[in-house]
Amino acid sequence: MPAMPAQTAPPAAEQPLSVTRRPLDLEDYVEVARRHRAWILGPAFLGLVLGVVTAFLWEDSYIARGKIRITPPQVPARLVPGNVGEELTARINAIAQEIITRSSLQNLIQTYNLYPDDRKRLPMEDVIDQMRRAIGIDNIESYTRSGAPRYHVFTVSFIYSDRRLAQKICSELIDRFTKQSIESRLNSSRQTTLFLSDQYESAKRELDDIDARIAVFRTKYFGELPEQEQMVVSRLSTMEASLQATSGQLSRAQQDRIQLETQLRELREEAAALAHQPPAGETAAAAAQSNPRIGELRREIERSRNSLRVLRESYTDSHPDVRRLALFIEGREAQLKELIEEEKKRLAEMPAGQGRQALGIPAANLQKLREVSSAIARVQAALQAKDMEIEDYNRQINDLKSRIKSTQSKLESGASISQEYLQLVRDRELAARRYEDLGRKLQDSNMATDLVSRGQSETMEVLESPVIPEEPIAPNRPLIIAVGVAFGLAVGIGLASVREIKDSSLKNLKDVRAYTRLTVLGSIPLLENDFVVRRRRRIAWLAWACAILVGLLLMAGAVFYYYTQRG
């Protein structure tokens, strides 16, 4: 290799401190690679060794997979609707969260002695997190076969270094999935049924309370309720008709009483005429002289009758003054009758001729006077009965008027009562509708819970059981080795580039011409001692042989360890 040119042109007057490197061509790159081949091949070989050792000392990771199918319920949903309306993905995720809890995974780790090395150097929480990352649930797919109900399939997987344990743990996870699905669905259905049962009892209590309030309201305002309005109107019409009929009967009774009074007056006039009729040849003055009290009573009765006729022209017979005057006349007539009876007894004790002459009543009129007196007594009794009848009619009329007034007031006050009652009825209808709706839902929920407990609802079943994996999924040894070689080669190229950049010597004639801008007349090759050159080459070959031997031994040991452990 030429070190310096033999003859050069005279140097320039001023040399620059630094110059820009000339651009390299392909020949220059080949020359650089030749000069630094040891720095490039050494890291590349080291990357190869490290890649092979890493690839074969890295434990295999096997993945075991199993498929679970979600079968639709055996009884159609239109006949027995389910209680669980949770979305399929959410339900699977919820079951998965229950399966990968700390206690569940720790139980699996201790039962199957998983991750023994990691458990020695890591806390249990880290080991459990590592196992969680190794569990996979994915690929939820839906299928429909020739119009049959749609069913869903998802995959459960587990990654572990021991392929047999991977298959066992995956089978255990799938078994827990199916069991947890049934338990979760049954618990959810039971909770729904319990909730609906509580709501049903609450609705029943509310309905009973409203029924009791309506019963009290109906008792308190009987006859004023909206549905009884027609009945009240009909009753009011009936009472008005009864009032009219009773008023008619009262009018007829009053007319009968007037007729009886007229008849009584006529009979009394007839009796008075018979009693006052003088005998043949005797004057009226002689009859009055026999008993002056009789004549006085007759005159008083006559005056009272005249006053009574005047009062009846202005008032009815039920007027207090009319009744009082009539009673006064009856009393005087009774006194007159008693006086006449006393005169009769007195005359009976006297001789017949003297008695008749003293009384002034002819003997022919005495029998007729007795008959008229009996008729007067009967008419007075009929008149008294008629008065009682009129009084009863008046009482009935007053009672009917009071009842009509009360009924009318009820109709008038029925607006506010009707509003309150209608509100109670609406509340009762709403409560009854809610009670019936909850009753139907509770019945459906009970049927759905029974369906789940019988195992005839939507269930999870194993579609494909996990098998022992044959080939590992990790590590990817060719990729690791290729990455190691590529990384070593990149490091070697980087070292060669650094050395080339730091080396500022002139390597060939191109450098001399480019940097000195002088014409090169000739060059002298570098002369070295042959012994030194041979010794340096032997040392280099020895170093390379040792390095290659050590690298091959390391790679062979790693490969041997891998296949030994795998076997």
pLDDT in tens, 117-156: 899 999 999 999 999 999 998 866 666 655 555 678 889 9
Answer yes or no: do 190 and 309 share one domain. Answer: no
pLDDT of residue 482: 94
Reported as a pLDDT band with limits 50, 70 and 90, residue 288 is very low
Sheet holding 135-143, edge to edge: 135-143, 151-160, 62-71, 459-464
Q: Does some domain include residue 323?
A: yes
Beta bridge partners of 459: 71
How far, in Å, CA of 187 to CA of 209, rounded? 33
Are 69 and 151 in contact by the 8 Å Cβ rule? The answer is yes
Give a yes or no: residue 37 inside a domain: yes
Specify the CATH number for the domain of residue 175.
3.30.70.1130
Q: For residue 298, is it within any domain? A: yes
Model pTM greater than 0.85? Answer: no
Average pLDDT of the chain is 79
d(CA 540, CA 41): 13
Give the per-residue pLDDT at 143: 63
- In terms of domains, do 295 and 387 share one? yes
pLDDT of residue 363: 54
- From 369, 389, 422, the end of a domain falls on 422
Judge if 262 and 281 occupy the same domain: yes
In a domain, 215, yes or no: no
Measured torsion, CA atoms of residues 339, 344, 350, 356, in degrees rounded to the nearest 10? 110
Neighbours of 78 (CB within 10 A): 6
Which pLDDT score is estimated for 11? 47
Report pLDDT for 289: 44
In a domain, 402, yes or no: yes
> Based on the domain organization, do 184 and 141 belong to the same domain?
yes
Burial status of residue 98 (CB atoms within 10 A of its CB: 0-12, 13-18, 19 or more): middle
- Residues 287-306: what's their mean pLDDT? 69
Give Cβ neighbours of residue 301 (< 8 Å, ≥ 6 apart). 329, 332, 333, 336
Residue 167 has pLDDT above 50, yes or no: yes
pLDDT of the residue at 181: 83
Lowest mean pLDDT among 201-205, 261-265, 283-287: 283-287
Asked if residue 477 belongs to a domain, the reply is no
Same domain, 109 and 92: yes
Q: Which helix (H) or strand (E) holds 14?
A: none
Residues 344 and 446 in one domain: no
Strand pairing category for 459-464 and 62-71: antiparallel
**Rounded Cα gap, residues 326 and 264, in angstroms:** 12
Contacts with 352 (C-beta within 8 Å, 6 or more apart), sequence order: 363
Between 116 and 270, residue with greater pLDDT? 116
pLDDT value at position 281?
39
Burial of 52 (0-12, 13-18, 19+ CB in 10 A): buried
For residue 306, pLDDT beyond 80: no
Q: Are residues 138 and 86 located together in one domain of the fold?
A: yes
Q: What is the DSSP string of 271-300?
A: HHHHHHPPPTT--HHHHHHH-HHHHHHHHH
When divided into structural domains, the chain yields a total of 3
Distance CA 268, CA 326 (A): 13
**What's the pLDDT band for 257 if we cut at 50, 70, 90?**
confident
Asked if residue 279 and residue 195 are part of one domain, the reply reads no
Average pLDDT over every residue of 507-517: 73
Q: What is the dihedral of CA 420, 424, 426, 431, to 10 degrees?
A: 160
pLDDT at residue 356, rounded to an integer: 46
136-167 burial, b if ≥16 CB within 10 A, otherwise e? ebeeeeeeeeeeeeebbebbbbbbbbbbebbb
Task: Over range 241-256, report the average pLDDT.
Answer: 83
For the chain, the first-to-last Cα distance in angstroms comes to 56
CA distances from 239 to 192, 399, 410 (A): 60, 10, 15
Q: 389 and 252, same structural domain?
A: yes
Tell whether 474 is covered by a domain.
no
For a pLDDT cut of 70, what percent of the chain falls above it? 80
| CA angle 188–193–194, rounded 5-degree value | 95
Residue 184 resides in a domain: yes
> Do 75 and 44 have their domain in common?
no
Residues 6+ positions from 373 with CB-CB distance below 8 Å: 271, 337
Q: Give the DSSP per-residue string, 227-252.
A: GGHHHHHHHHHHHHHHHHHHHHHHHH
Token pair, residue 349, equals 């004790």
Model pLDDT, residue 53 = 92
- Please tell me the predicted confidence (pLDDT) of residue 236: 76
Residue 354, pLDDT > 60, answer: no
Beta bridge partner(s), residue 487: none
Say whether both 400 and 519 belong to one domain. Answer: no
Per residue in 121-130, pLDDT (tens digit) is 999 999 999 9
Range of the domain at 32: 2-11+25-58+493-566
Question: Residues 61, 472: contact at Cβ < 8 Å?
Answer: yes
CA distances to 242, 272, 286, 352 from 280, in Å: 60, 18, 12, 16
Q: What is the pLDDT of residues 2-23, one digit of tens each?
A: 443 434 444 444 445 566 777 7
Helix axes 37-57, 477-502, angle to 10 degrees: 160
What is the arithmetic mean of pLDDT over 404-420? 70
Name the pLDDT band for 102 (thresholds 50, 70, 90). very high
Residues 267 and 349 in one domain: yes
- Model confidence at 65, pLDDT cuts 50, 70, 90, reads very high
